[in-house]
Structure 1
Amino acid sequence: MTHEFVHESRPGRVVFAVGARTRLAEEVDRLGLRRLIVVCTPEQADLAAELTLPLRDRIAALHPHATRHVPTAVAATAVARSREASADGCIAVGGGSAIGLAKAIAKDTGLPSVAVPTTYAGSEMTPIWGLTGADRKTTGRDPRVLPSTVLYDPALTLTLPSRLSLTSGINALAHAAEALYAPDGSPITALMAAESARALAGALPRVAADPRDLEARSDALYGAWLAGSVLGATTMSLHHKLCHVLGGAFDLPHAETHTAILPHVLAFNLPAAARARTALESAFGAADPGGHLFHLAEDLGAEMSLAALGMPEDGVDTVVAQALATPYANPRPVTETDLRAMVGNALTGEAPAPRPLG
């Protein structure tokens, strides 16, 4: 067998340990930062203040105004606040909303950032930014938005509710799954994606059974780190395209939307992606990865209906039109009929229908 691939490693430092939060000041010193803006959601303001207390003399602003999908107006306000504070760096505490806002600041100002994730979103490992306007989400890649340092502390995920832990973990699993059939994958990304899927598939039921299981939390966060890493190194396909459209058009919750959509995309794509199918069959211990994931998520309490998440019944036309308007990589061609079937089933919460080739 001959090999042909391109692999580009992303710069960045990762500190992974129970108690890694206590190394925040040390890592900030390592970067030479002196005036920091701290971003988080309103719900995480107390945690952000607690984590950054050792840096109190260097905190120029606490900005607890991150929100999902990073609306353009929210991003503009954060950029302006960082400039007013004469910040020379940013700390993001939280999940994808906080880290996405830090990326928006970096995109416009070039400020370096330190990410302290509290979910399994994986955004902290990618150079991908996203901003949401009136009716759609725009994404892009810029190496400046990749955090300089990421502190992974599994103990910070112990208070993440069981259902959100599940959907956040499946969000991460989607990164690994799409990396397995990405057109620009490499042997390294394939190994990392398969290991990520194995770790997440094994950890999420244990987290659901006992949210205080620190070993299960560590396994899940380890899988999420790998998933984010491969997301940042490969091209996103149909699943991420649909989730960006759904989030931008209807402001649906991010992780929950990934959870409802992923089984349908896997059922459609895996017949055309033999290696990805084999890796996911091994990770899940099941012959039908899409169907297995749907029933696992449903059994563990995830909402599998996009309608229940807030998508209007007449929204399928919008999703199909936007998804078809911009070309994207995918292991098999996608027609309007295919999209209507997948999104229609996800809308009502039906199990994924087999989509054989031909």
Structure 2
Amino acid sequence: GAERLAATGADAVVAVGGGSSLDVAKVMVALAAAGEPATLRDDFEVTGAVAVPDGDLRPVVAAPTTLAGADLSTIAGITSRRDGLVRGGAHDRRLMPAALLYDPKLFRTTPHDVLCASAMNGFDKAVETTYAATATPVTDATAVRALRLLSRGLPDLGAGDRDETTIHDAVVGTVLAQYGCSRADGLTLSLIHAFGHGVARGYEIQQGGAHAIIAPHALRYLFDRVDAGRDLLAKGLGVEAATPAATATAVVERVVEIRDALGLPARLREIDDMSESDLPAVAADV
């Protein structure tokens, strides 16, 4: 793709699809700008990172069809299997798409299981923004608003609804969640994403499906040790409780309800191609 882009001299790249399609477009413009894409590809096999060259990059126009939030992001995640499994990607503020197109008709054509799994990915970005070390009053506000919209829209999405209100809540909620988690001055991704990436890359499960398994356990772990933004989470998810401990329990229960409404997996054993013997390697990768 990068070689074709360089050869044709195209002014921009238009990416239509889910997170993988959008990430490929971002990596393409980085590789094309390098002049020798093969060299950067070889370096990635060693370092797990794509070095984005200095200078201008061709703009990317993103038209997402899923709800993971890769459209509004400065990150591009990639996996190589050329000489074994290598996971990594690129991170540069210039990888943020120059233009975004959110068309409800595109989301309605996405397969149900793909759309629901991607929605959990976007939802967890709002969750993690509330307790991130890099959070700000602005990201607190966008995360809470995102959680309100997503906690209302995602159960309907899981039930098969694709009406205007459901798509609005899902898309706008995801955009607000992504706004807080992908900024030039710091990311807000945390424990759920760290484990989710380790589980998803290399196995037959979408990243959102991996997050669905991890999220309740990660939240319980955090709540046992720190505040973890539980009041903001409760506000966004619309739950109330009398004590901090009860608030934490109510938040986890609501997250589980949303996960189950989306029809997503709850246990690692539901990943068909993962075995128990793989877990030490996943833990080391995380």
TM-score, length-normalised on structure 1?
A: 0.64
Moved more, 164-173 or 216-225: 164-173
Counterpart check, 1:135 vs 2:85 = yes
Q: Paired residue for 1:311, among 265, 269, 274?
A: 274
Secondary structure of the corresponding residue to residue 71 of structure 2: helix
Name the counterpart of 1:264.
Answer: 217
> How many equivalent residue pairs?
246
1:254 maps to 207
Distance 2:161 2:72 in 1: 24
Instruction: Report the Cα offset of residue 262 of structure 1.
Output: 1.7
Of the candidates 107, 114, 131, which is equivalent to residue 181 of structure 1?
131
Residue 41 of structure 1 aligns with which residue? Answer: none
State the AA in 2 paired with 1:283.
G
Task: Name the structure 1 match of 2:188.
Answer: 235
Distance 1:89 1:152, change over 3 A: same
Shift of residue 228, structure 1, vs aligned partner: 1.5
The answer (yes or no) to whether the contact 1:158–1:211 under 8 Å persists in 2 is: no
Q: Deviations over 1:92-117 (max 9, x none)?
A: 10110111111111222221110001
Is the partner of 1:111 in helix, strand or coil?
Answer: coil
**Aligned counterparts of 2:226 and 2:96: Cα–Cα separation in 1:** 30
Structure 1 residue 249 displacement after superposition: 4.0
Write the letter of the residue equivalent to 1:190.
D
In 2: Cα distance, 1:271 partner to 1:194 partner: 22
Q: Which runs of 5+ in 2 are unaligned?
A: 34-56, 240-246
TM-score (norm 2): 0.79
Shift of 1:241: 1.4
- Quick one: distance in 2 between partners of 1:130 and 1:247? 12
| Secondary structure, aligned partner of 2:13 | strand
Q: Please tell me whether the aligned partners of residues 126 and 228 of structure 1 are also in contact (alpha carbons under 8 angstroms).
A: yes
In 1, Cα distance between equivalents of 2:133 and 2:7: 43
Specify the alignment match of 2:114 in structure 1. 164
Consecutive unaligned residues in structure 1, runs of 5 or more: 1-77, 324-358
Letter in 1 for 2:98: S
Letter in 1 for 2:117: T
> 1:88 matched to which residue of 2?
11
The separation in 1 between residues aligned to 2:141 and 2:88, in whole angstroms, is: 30
Match in the other structure for 2:41: none
1:292 paired residue number: 254
Deviation at 1:218, TM superposition (A): 1.0
Q: Does 1:147 align with 2:97?
A: yes
Q: Secondary structure at the match of 1:296?
A: helix
